Amino acid sequence: DVIELGVPFTDPLADGATIQRANEVAVAAGVTFADCLGMVREARAQGLSAPLVLMGYDNPLLAYGEERAAADAADAGADGFIVVDLPPDEAGAFRKACAANGVSFVPLIAPTTAESRMGEVASVADSFIYCVSVTGTTGGAAVPSEVGELVATIRQHTDVPIAVGFGVSTKEQVARVGRVAEGVIVGSAIIAAIEGGSVEGCVDRVRAYVERVTGRSREGA
């Protein structure tokens, strides 16, 4: 399993209503990139061992300083970055900083990515590739039936694991994506579970949701 921690941003264009709402709450509360790193440190101190990637947009990284962001993320215990609006060919300096600090830069490939560019994008992946299943925003349209074809096309260019996100929320969708890709990414549905009741009960709600869609049970986790 890999945990994705969203870094708040004022203009999350790639995200749907659920994640936009979470961004608004976090921004209003003054949550910064540095605060996110503090959360990572605290999670590691409490024994979190699963890989953790920071996901968000380039602007907060630029404001913090890209080299500093990569170094401090590594120091905090983060394993990588997914930067939605930073394509690999524009990320040379940040990719170099990530490599120097032993953290991964995870590239994204979408249905709109020309096949002629897929090899170039895939070549920078050192952990996994984020395959955007559908054109649009997170939490929107359901994962399309053609996702298997998209994954197969990407697979022609790389042996790196491929994880599919956008439009994945149900047990059936998780199973279908899991048959064609190495990873399944769920974001909006987990945030919806967090929002669905008291703060005290959010861990139980998230656990119940994950167990329901994956068919896995973690007694005592």
pLDDT in the model for residue 138:
66
What's the CA gap between 84 and 107, in Å, rounded? Answer: 8
Catalytic annotation, pick one of 4, 58, 72, 79: 4
Higher pLDDT, 54 or 1: 54
What's the CA gap between 36 and 6, in Å, rounded? Answer: 8
CATH class of the 1-105 domain in this structure? alpha beta
Told to judge if 4 belongs to the known catalytic residues of this protein, a careful annotator would answer: yes
Catalytic annotation, pick one of 15, 58, 72, 79: 15
Would you state the structure tokens that stand for residue 155, as one six-digit string? Answer: 């697979």
Told to judge if 219 belongs to the known catalytic residues of this protein, a careful annotator would answer: no
Burial of 136 (0-12, 13-18, 19+ CB in 10 A): middle
Average pLDDT over all residues of the chain: 94
pLDDT in the model for residue 219:
58
Ramachandran area for residue 65 (φ above 0: left; ψ -120 to 50: alpha; else beta) = left
Phi and psi at 160, nearest 5°, equal -65, 140
Residue 205 pLDDT greater than 70, yes or no: yes
Higher pLDDT, 40 or 146: 40
pLDDT in the model for residue 10:
92
Contact 120, 87 (CB under 8 A): no
Residue closest to 51 by CA, chosen among 104, 124, 112: 104
| Residue 144 pLDDT class (50, 70, 90 cuts) | confident
pLDDT tens sequence across 42-76: 999 999 999 999 999 999 999 999 999 999 999 99
pLDDT tens sequence across 78-132: 999 999 999 999 999 999 999 999 999 999 999 999 999 999 999 999 999 999 9
Query: What mean pLDDT do residues 164-177 have?
Result: 94
What's the CA gap between 72 and 196, in Å, rounded? Answer: 33
Q: Domain coordinates of the chain in residue numbers? A: 1-105
pLDDT in the model for residue 60:
96
